[in-house]
Amino acid sequence: MTIKKKILKALAGEVLDTPPIWMMRQAGRYLPEYRETRAQAGDFLSLCYNSDLAAEVTLQPIRRYGFDAAILFADILLLPQALGADLWFVTGEGPRLSTINSTDDLKLLKPVDEIHDTLRPVYETVRILSKELPEETTLIGFAGAPWTVATYMIAGRGTPDQKPAHDLKDNNILAFENLIEILTKATIKYLSAQIDAGVEVVKIFDSWAGSLKGDDFYKYALEPTKKIVMELKAKYPKVPIIAFPRQAGDYYKGFLKSTGADCLAIDDSISSAWAAKYLQKDGCIQGNLNSSHMVSGGQNMIDEIETIVSDLSQGPHIFNLGHGITPEANPDYVALMIETIRNFKRS
């Protein structure tokens, strides 16, 4: 069967004249239409669990920009909530959760098989999008990687250095590894249900992978991702998987082959030239424009876009940011980014 969608072509290893484009957090606060819909929902979690409104904000950047992919509007912390953790958001500060700091705390979590009771609205959002997205647009589902989700569950919030998670790992390895195992199993079930509902690609976000070093990186970033990929590939061999171990640095090398993922998303702490030399030989690369360019714009942004497209033009490439777009971004610069990529002529 001939692959028609551009992102699916790149994920299958095809080198395209122009890379397909989407952005992390492309449905978000930088768009006035998103802010209006969120106000209608009342708060962030209500928006995530209102299938019609979550589908609407997923569709907004597709209507405005014609991205090659839509990413399901949800949050990585819906999974711990589905496992029984308390979750709420503090305006201007971010998420808060009840904490896991012992094996006794783990006993308070629900069985993994029960996560779907909470997450059914997310699956319904996927079904709506499968019907309403343009036929050329790929639908991407996602989950947080076990390590990253664990850091929030252990600390009860985001932290700059993930110290509470490192402390639990160092002082109570049994509780820590049991949590990682629970999250690995739950993530497999969560992504499987998204695929069953209609997503065509899944992405595993390990936003805090960079704080793991040495054996810890392999045990708690690479190995859980490998388990998730293996289980999903056994059930859904044709569904591509994007892995994003953010700020992995040299640990990016070999990550794609070791995990079995189809595409390696990279952040902007490494250069596109380095990625082309050391990473792209293993498969598709996604990235990696610094999201600050969506705020500043200008010729510097255009030059950097052209450098990335040129550097990664000899292998499969999906253009994206190195991290999520920020609320301060200018929607006009997003349009300019897309225009620059689609009009760029390789020398």
Q: What is the DSSP string of 51-95?
A: HHHHHHHHHHHHHHH--SEEE----TTHHHHHTT--EEEETTTEE
For residue range 165-209, list pLDDT tens digits in order. Answer: 999 999 999 999 999 999 999 999 999 999 999 999 999 999 999
Residue 159 lies in a domain: yes
> Is the pLDDT at 347 greater than 60, yes or no?
no
Output the pLDDT for position 182. 98
- Positive or negative CA dihedral for 257, 263, 268, 273? positive
pLDDT greater than 80 at residue 55:
yes
- Number of domains within the chain: 1
Domain membership flag for residue 325: no
List the beta strands (DSSP E) in 63-176: 69-71, 87-90, 94-97, 138-144
Residue 234: which domain range?
Answer: 24-266
pLDDT at 3: 77
- Tell me whether residue 74 is in a domain: yes
Q: Of 244, 241, 223, which Cα lies nearest the Cα of 233?
A: 241
Q: Is the pTM of this model over 0.75?
A: yes
Nearest to 236 by CA among 141, 126, 338, 118: 141
| 285 belongs to a structural domain | no
Can you give the pLDDT at residue 345?
A: 75
pLDDT tens digits for range 276-326: 999 999 999 999 999 999 999 999 999 999 999 999 999 999 999 999 999
Order of strands, sheet of 263-265, starting from the edge strand that comes earlier in the sequence: 69-71, 138-144, 201-206, 241-245, 263-265, 284-289, 317-321
Measured between alpha carbons, how far is residue 204 from residues 250, 295, 335 in Å? 19, 26, 27
The SS3 assignment for 289 reads strand
| Rounded Cα–Cα distance for residues 212 and 75 (Å) | 22
* Tokens encoding 142: 């996602």
Q: Nearest CA to 228 among 210, 267, 202, 246?
A: 202
The CA distance from 201 to 283, in Å, is: 16
- What is the per-residue pLDDT across 220-274, written as a single tens digit (0 to 9) for each? 999 999 999 999 999 999 999 999 999 999 999 999 999 999 999 999 999 999 9
Which residues, in sequence order, are CB contacts of 56 under 8 Å at separation 6+?
37
- Determine, yes or no, domain membership for 55: yes
User: What does R_g of the chain's alpha carbons equal in angstroms?
Assistant: 19
Give the CATH number of the domain where residue 78 resides.
3.20.20.210
Cis preceding-peptide flag for 343 (omega within 30 of 0)? no
Does residue 86 sit within a domain? Answer: yes
Kindly state whether residue 347 falls inside one of the protein's structural domains. Answer: no
Tell me whether residue 160 is in a domain.
yes
